[in-house]
Amino acid sequence: MKIKFVSHASVIVTTDDAIIWSDPWLFGKAFNDSWSLLPEAKFDQKWLDEINYIWISHEHPDHFHIPTLKSLPEDFKNRVTILFQRNNSDKLTDALKNFGYKNFIRLPHAKKINLTPKTEIMCYQVAQMDSILAIMSGGEVVLNLNDAELNANDRGRITHKIGGVDVILNQFSLAGYNGYSNYDQRLKDMAKSLLKKVYNEHILFKAKVTIPFASMIYFSASDNKYINQYANTPQDVYEYFKQNKIANELIVLFPGEEYTIGEEHNTEKSLHKYGAILDERDLLEYTISPVVPYEKLLSSFERLYGVISKRYYKIFLVKLKPLKIYVPDLSQIFIFNLAGGEFVKYEGNDYDIEILSQPLDFAMQYDYGFQTLGVSARHKVINNYSNYRWHKVLFSLNNAEIWLTARLFLTMKNLRWIFSRLSGLMGQIKHRLASQVKFMDYNG
């Protein structure tokens, strides 16, 4: 098999009889204009004539990049087949149909399927949103982990299903921040843990080669620019593998480069290309957000409150205490009371969270808005993180369409999906909770 790197999490895998393009992102920004590609994508329009399939790992906009998917030619949309996990929601496939795509295969969880006579694939769902893809052809296996957070049970099940791995594609750098204001040591530790994760998964899956990807971006808003100084680079991954005496098992690809399994690749040349670009990161473009007035923020809050109050019984909202949000470009603190339906000005000086008006407005406008706020690293949590964490849990459930009223939750689609994923979901929930407890212990 061959692996051609396009951008960020976007690669083209060529098998004996199929060509699969993952997570297309060719231009523009993501996450409320907060992430930009670095380096830029490399894509030849002639490649569209050969691509049979597009796999979309999940709906985050650096993987499901709407401007790119809309921009592709109509004849390509008519011909290509979209591969996506079979979950409890049709919103992604419905959106793609509106863009003009005609052909879809919803992939079952953890089951191999024959995509073509010579190519098998297996989609494995992680938590309520992510998924990974194993591609098997000609006795070779490519495992695309993108940015999924696997636990030991997941790794064991995947290994049991697919056996040995020739190439792992794995995220290696920061993809957001939880918002703690004293971020210096936290972000350094997060970056180190990601390098360790890439190495450990290389060892645990007994991979012959790892290709670092899904981190070829820079944080490109004026209020998240600070994250860049903590981000890992491909050189950092190479040095980590070198320290562990397996530098020859790391392949670094620059956009436009291709690796054929089992062949040599000049990783040092690719690293040099990255170094030249990353050295100029501070000189790149950074977005300065417009100021959003109070009246618009209030309207967006009322939208959010209307949605939440219809989708969740009040008993599920009792954990949500009011948050005090400081909006520096308005020089104002607001009380954000989702359980009580209030968004009002506060005249005191103490506050829990600091957010500029535009990302706050975006967070309240869309079901995925607060998740975007975290991934884009555009807020700082000063006090009462545990209260904010309960809000994040609710917003994550809401975006995943897990709505806790009898009429909305007890649908055949939801029940089938939950039953099919019950053991895996419980394991992933326990893993996330353990990670959270460890994080809270670390932070006192």
Sign of CA dihedral 217, 221, 223, 229: positive
> What is the DSSP secondary structure assignment for residue 109, as one 8-state letter?
B
Name residue 326's beta-bridge partners: 333, 354
Query: What pLDDT score does 430 carry?
Result: 53
pLDDT for 433 equals 46
The pLDDT score that the predictor gives to residue 439 is: 40
d(CA 440, CA 430) in angstroms, rounded, equals 15
Please state, in angstroms and rounded to a whole number, the distance separating the CA atoms of residues 343 and 297: 9
Question: The pTM is what?
Answer: 0.91
pLDDT for the residue numbered 92: 94
> How high is the mean pLDDT in each 10-residue block of the chain (444 residues)?
98 98 98 97 98 97 98 98 92 96 97 98 91 98 96 95 97 94 93 98 98 97 96 98 98 98 97 91 90 98 96 92 98 97 97 98 96 94 94 91 74 63 53 44 36
Check whether the bond before 39 is cis (ω within 30° of 0).
yes
Chain length of the chain: 444
The pair of structure tokens assigned to 203 is 């060892």
Instruction: State the pLDDT at residue 278.
Output: 87
Please, what are the domains in the chain? 2-283 (3.60.15.10), 294-409 (3.30.1050)
* 358: helix, strand or coil: helix
| pLDDT at residue 282, rounded to an integer | 79
| CB proximity list for 8: less than 8 A, separation 6 or greater | 23, 25, 37, 41, 62, 213, 214, 215, 216, 217
pLDDT at residue 88 in the model: 78
The reported pLDDT for the residue numbered 432 is 47
Token output for 272: 């040099």
What tokens appear for 400 in the block? 């995943």
pLDDT at 409: 60
Burial code of 417-436, b = ≥16 C-beta within 10 A, e = fewer?
beebbeebbeebeebeeeee
Q: Report pLDDT for 28.
A: 97
CB 137 within 8 A of CB 16: yes
